[in-house]
Chains A and B, each alone.
Chain A
């Protein structure tokens, strides 16, 4: 299975925090409702303007702040398929991969504009701007982590592992 993704780039800046991604006022609410308020303090139209398949292109320290994984979950629910950032806050990075959302570190992606089409290859560590053909180096996601993301995240991955262990025990 190829992990390569192609989509429309949606741009955000540096230090996008978890309070913006998953506002505290909606943390008690169902995730579907919370997702409608994702990034609204930054851009009131965010949830309405992203399209399924979009790739979020971010600046430095994306996902800084809380450990609330609803920050990554809300993006997934809105149809974002990958976040490509100059750097990530560590907990968000783990949360994204654990929830099956691709998070790719790409220190430099200058020259890509809102809604340009891009392609991400997390295995090789590459971001391609389709209009210009320019290619940007990313940090490849290690194979065992990519396997976890491709299986849908840590829960389905663990489910499989536990089932395999049980089958082994039964033999």
Chain B
């Protein structure tokens, strides 16, 4: 029987030769990721009550990224508790203030094709960019995983999303996702596995694929999968993981595998997208969105502050200034992104344009860290969610867009199309090419 990539990974994790959608199975977890917010402070009391330790500390990755750096005694206490718990349970891989969990996992080669990953965060599907089945869970379920190494699952059907053609200038993975959110609605995937495909997919750098997989969460997928290719191998090689090319043929859907539905998106016809408050599904082409004045532009989060995202912002901001009356805040997604952006001149470009740099972490995206909004303020952000009140005061309004569109809007002081600014460049460098070098 022909199987999807999701079925193949679930079957392997469940110790079965094959599984069918709808079956209830128990999977062995290859990697469990937890962070400071939903992690030790919530799971420690449960494990104590159960009277058990970790099933396998070598399969656990702990990341402090939500409350970093501490801003008050309570966040400091949470970070301290997280460190102590990691030491007590011999979790060797604790990334403390080194970046956002999903980006850190990828940078260190912790996620590989065919793995079954469970993470205590809804954007865990990001790992699907590497061909891993990765699902987010709450703290009680994470505690159960840590105690037993197992999780129950209803084998999901697959929603296939085919990307045709090549995106034009100013159009990137974030625009693809916002357009998809509009097409199928928030949660429209109905907890199916999303699998990306199509000839257009090969052109996306790994970090752009991470954006595709990341926002499977907003589409309502249990996971978002990108079948691995040579680009995947090249990224993993750089992260110190060498894989046999046979893994590439093993971890892909059979051509005739039945799927629940197939959706096509023509990349050549796609314009930069902007999602209006308070839902990613309120997306529209930027030229159809009212050019509302903005108080803050924010480049941050697992979705929108990887190195390629900062490169996008810099490509717009080089030689330009943030508009008076508007502030641009940039929180690079990880310590490594900081280092690489410093080394290649990107940070200088951003700060010369007037960007204010913030620490790596989840930060203002979820209203936890620096950069939150006042009553009535308007923000355009490269993050994944613009739910009411998420980023600050309940009456604040957040628009979502790509780092290109966020940067263009920062320069204009209102929501703006990045394409005219990119076209003005004497040496136009398509962002896809730049991204390809990175990936």
Interface stretch, picked from A45-53, A112-120, A122-130, A151-159, is A151-159
Please name all residues of chain A whose beta carbon is closer than 8 Å to the beta carbon of B52 when the two chains form the complex.
162
B53 within 8 A of A: no
Q: Is A79 an interface residue (CB 8 A)?
A: no
Q: Are B37 and A91 in contact (CB under 8 A)?
A: no
Which B367-405 residues have a C-beta within 8 angstroms of A? Answer: 367-368, 385, 387-390, 394
Assembly CA distance A19 to B75 (angstroms): 19
Q: Is B44 an interface residue (CB 8 A)?
A: no
In the complex, which residues 53-102 of chain A have their Cβ closer than 8 Å to any Cβ of chain B?
A: 60-61, 64-69, 72, 87, 89-91, 93-95, 98-99
- A94 CB to nearest chain B CB (Å): 6
Q: Are A95 and B138 in contact (CB under 8 A)?
A: yes
**Shortest beta-carbon distance, A107 to chain B, in Å?**
12
Q: In the complex the two chains form, is A95's CB within 8 Å of B122's CB?
A: no
Are the CB atoms of A154 and B141 closer together than 8 Å?
A: yes
C-alpha spacing A67/B50, complex, angstroms: 22
Residues from chain B with a CB closer than 8 A to the CB of A154 are 140-141, 144
B228 at interface (Cβ–Cβ under 8 A)?
no
Contact with A along B129-146 (1 / 0, CB 8 A): 000000011111101100
Tell me, in angstroms, the Cα distance from A19 to B124 when the chains sit together.
18
Check A68 against B389 for contact (C-beta < 8 Å): no
A91 contact set on B, CB distance < 8 A: 122, 136-138
Q: Which of B180-196 contact A (CB under 8 A)?
A: 185-187, 190-191
CA distance A27 to B367 in the complex (A): 10
Say whether A67 contacts B137, CB under 8 Å: yes
Q: Does A171 contact B (CB under 8 A)?
A: no
Shortest distance between the CB of B305 and any CB in chain A (Å):
18
CB of B279 within 8 A of CB of A15, answer: yes
Q: How many Å lie between the Cα of A23 and that of B140 in the bound state?
A: 19
Chain B interface residue bracket vs A? 35 or more
Q: How many angstroms between the C-alpha atoms of A67 and B123 in the bound complex? A: 9
Residues of B within 8 A of A68 (CB): 37-38, 138
Contact partners of B49 in chain A: CB under 8 A: 155, 159
A139-B434 Cα distance, complex, nearest whole Å: 49
Contact digits for B34-50, partner A, Cβ 8 Å, 1 yes 0 no: 00011000100010011
In the complex, the answer to whether A158 meets B50 with C-beta atoms within 8 Å is yes
Distance (whole angstroms) from the CB of A156 to the closest CB of chain B: 9
Residue of A nearest to B362 (CB): A24
| Interface: A164 (CB within 8 A) | no
Check if B243 is an interface residue, CB within 8 A of chain A.
no
Q: Which residues of A contact B357 (CB under 8 A)?
A: none
B120: Cβ under 8 A from any A Cβ: yes
B220 within 8 A of A: yes
Which residues of B are at the interface with A, using a C-beta cutoff of 8 A?
24, 37-38, 42, 46, 49-52, 67, 74-75, 78, 120-122, 124, 136-141, 143-144, 147-148, 185-187, 190-191, 220, 222, 279, 366-368, 385, 387-390, 394
Q: List 14 A-B contacts (CB under 8 A).
A: A17-B387, A19-B366, A19-B388, A24-B368, A24-B390, A61-B185, A61-B220, A66-B122, A69-B138, A69-B141, A89-B187, A94-B137, A155-B50, A162-B51
